Structure 1
Amino acid sequence: MKYTTLPNTDIKVSKICLGSMTWGNQNTEAEGHEQLDYALSQGVNFVDTAELYPVPATAETQGRTSKIIGSWLKNQKREDLIIASKIAGPGDYTAHIRTSGFSKEALNEAVNSELKRLQTDYIDLYQLHWPERTTNTFGVRDYVKQKEDAWQDNFHIVLEILNDLVKSGKIRNVGLSNEKAWGTMRYLNEADKNKLIKPITIQNAYSLLNRVYEGDMSEISHRENIGLLAYSPMAFGVLSGKYIKNKARDNSRLKLFPRFARYSSEQSTEATKMYLELAEKNNLTLAQMSLAFVNQRPFVTSNIIGATSLEQLKENLSSIDVNISKELLGEINKIHSIIPNPAP
């Protein structure tokens, strides 16, 4: 395994982070523990979850993923592991959790409930899962001003609440997720101006099919020292090639939940075919090439992988030893120039 540090800290994290959003739905508790054990044996020390997991989010399953991690975590050396979690943003999708945004009551309740589920005294990295305001997230390509937007500008207030949670010892660091350039800079500027806790990471989608982060956000990463925790580097499993080759298992995400079509457009499928051909020409699986590409990007702090089987997990972790040469990167960029960001 290779390691880096969370920006502005001395916290060492594995370059590959173990994602968990299938545990409690597509995966059982025993399977989740099996993945955790194997990942730990391979040097992974970084695990990511969220209060709304597993996905799809429902009232019946909410919090199961963190409980699965908690029943495993209580038997581990807590100080050797870095645990990240998130508070759900507002919206109809999460009305079964709460209807408020990032209020003081909501943040305190979310953190306290998550600590109980995880069976731990602290969370190493606590993230805002998506913005309170209405903006273009989760595959929406362009920002359009909303005529009716009841959102309140409370970046400062949210940071003050998070600052108090850090002082209490319940969380150690703060991160953003599914955030845009404007929101990221507002948080960073408010933190600097008021000497409040500064977000150190941002968890956004990033893959061969979605390199939108390389625009404004990668410059922010570089100039403000805020690291990307890349999620969906396999594009819901599309970049394994299993759907193109008709080898997807019955419990694969897109077979179970076909409405998750963010990476299934005609353009995404065509780009995936081209990347698959390139990977095989270089004696790599598409999964290895896709993940190695993300692992080696200079603005990526850690690459969040997920798997529904131990076999998939082993292949995904093997990407850490794959080198994307300058020549191969050039070929990847040629495809990207032909079909840029088909799945934003």
Structure 2
Amino acid sequence: MKYVQLGKSGLIVSRLAFGAMTFGSGKIPSVYKVSQDQAKELVGQALEAGINFFDTADAYADGQSEEILGRLLGPHRKEVIIATKAGNRVGSGLIETGLSRKHLFSACDASLARLNTDYIDLYIVHKADPFTPLEETLEALNDLVRLGKVRYIGYSNRPAWMAAQALQMQRERGWATFINGQMYYSLVGRDIEHDTVPFMKNNNVGLTVWSPLAGGFLSGKYTRDNLNDPNNRLSGFDFLPHDKEWGFTILDTIRDIARDHDVIPAQVSLAWLLEQAHVDSVLVGSSKPSQLENNLAAVELKLTSEEIRVLEQLTRPQPLYPNWFTTMTLDSQVIEAFK
């Protein structure tokens, strides 16, 4: 396993992190499907491979994911980094959701109890909350750090301008700052390169990636013929928007590269992400030991510069305004035309 400093913090994390979203059972059976015994095998496998970074959330399988992960990591607590998230709905009550001070304090205490620990290494706000003043959320997070319940804080699924607004307020008030942004990023979902990645690089905010295989689409097990099979995961939980036909064109190239290295497509997709200098850690979730073994092998896969170039060219997102204008006006010929 390889390790990296998370953002500007002193936290050292494995390049691959273990995502425990699949632990437990519940209303999304295509996702929540890993029992306690199965989870024990997977966590043991991850630890043996050198993974020290484990991710979950209070909303995953109604808290079962945290409970299972907490039991399994208990004997290894001093050796591992546990990240969990808050903000999504966790009950039927009107205010059992969001990023209010009330909910964050109660959610944190509930997560600590389920994880069977007295501190959370990385506490992440799961999404933006349009109903709670930003100042209230950030002050509550700072207080959780000062109380010792949380060591570091991060955010997820937040646009760059909103993250910048929060970071500025944290710095001005002398509050604990976000060290990490956990964002969706894959070969069929490179939107964060427009603004989020430049913001993170400029502010030394570490990037961790969720759903690096686009919900399993880039694993290579799906084809144009079996995509709509009611038994596969995507038929029961397909919420990441991308053009599937375009995606299969990308998969054709990924499969060619995989054959050249005698690996599987999932490893190529993960290896591309690990080659990105702005990526600190990539979350891999598995429901079977064989899946985890294949994902772990991506750390050792070295793509050629030509293979990276081909993948970059094939999947590069369409430039947005004003980004394309800024880039265009850096060209010497264009500069001359504007004189």
TM surpasses 0.5: yes
Amino acid at match of 2:79: D
Aligned mates of 1:36, 1:190 — CA distance in 2: 38
Q: Give the equivalent residue in structure 1 for 2:336.
A: none
Q: Which runs of structure 2 are paired with 1:228-267 in the superposition (5 Å)?
A: 228-244=207-223, 252-255=232-235, 257-260=236-239, 262-263=241-242, 265-267=244-246
Structure 1's consecutive aligned runs of 4 or more residues displaced over 4 angstroms after TM superposition are: 97-100, 245-252
Instruction: State the partner residue of 1:272.
Output: 251
Q: How does 1:159-238 map to 2 (within 5 A)?
A: 159-238=138-217
Aligned partners of 1:261 and 1:222: how far apart in 2? 25
Q: Could you tell me which residue of structure 2 aligns to residue 110 of structure 1? A: 107
Point out the structure with max Rg over C-alpha: 2
Query: What is the distance in 1 between the residues matched to 2:237 and 2:109?
Result: 34
Q: Is 1:122 matched up with 2:129?
A: no
CA contact (8 A) 1:279 1:286 kept: yes
Identity of matched residues, %: 32
C-alpha separation between the residues in 1 aligned to 2:238 and 2:201? 35
| 1:27 is aligned to 2:34 | yes
Tell me, yes or no, if the aligned pair for 1:50 and 1:88 is still in contact at 8 Å: no
**Distance in 2 (alpha carbons) for counterparts of 1:81 and 1:250:** 37
How big is the shift at 1:313? 0.3
> After superposition, what is the alpha-carbon deviation per residue over 1:58-88, rounded to whole angstroms, capped at 9, x for unaligned?
xxxx0011111111122x2311100000002
Residue identity matched to 2:150: I
Which shows bigger deviation, 216-225 or 242-251? 242-251
Other-structure match for 1:68: 68
2:114 matches 1:83: no
Query: Can you give the 5+ residue segments of structure 2 that lack an aligned partner in the other structure?
Result: 25-31, 320-339
Partner of residue 147, structure 1: none
Give the match's secondary structure for 1:284: coil
Q: CA 1:45–1:246 in 2, change beyond 3 Å: closer, same or farther?
A: farther
Question: Structure 1 residues 279, 162: CA separation in 2 closer, same or farther (over 3 Å shift)?
Answer: same
Secondary structure in 2 matching 1:311 = helix
SS of 2:212's partner is coil
- Three-state SS of the structure 1 residue aligned to 2:129 is coil
Q: 1:254 to 1:100 in 2, by over 3 A?
A: closer
- Name which of 156, 161, 164 aligns with 2:135: 156
Report SS of the residue matched to 2:34. coil
For structure 1, the 5+ residue unaligned runs are: 55-61, 134-150
Amino acid at match of 1:112: D
Amino acid at match of 1:167: R
Per-residue deviation, 1:222:
1.1
Q: Structure 1 residues 245 and 43 mapped into 2: Cα distance closer, same or farther (>3 Å)?
A: farther
Equivalent-residue separation in structure 2 for 1:193 and 1:283 (angstroms): 52
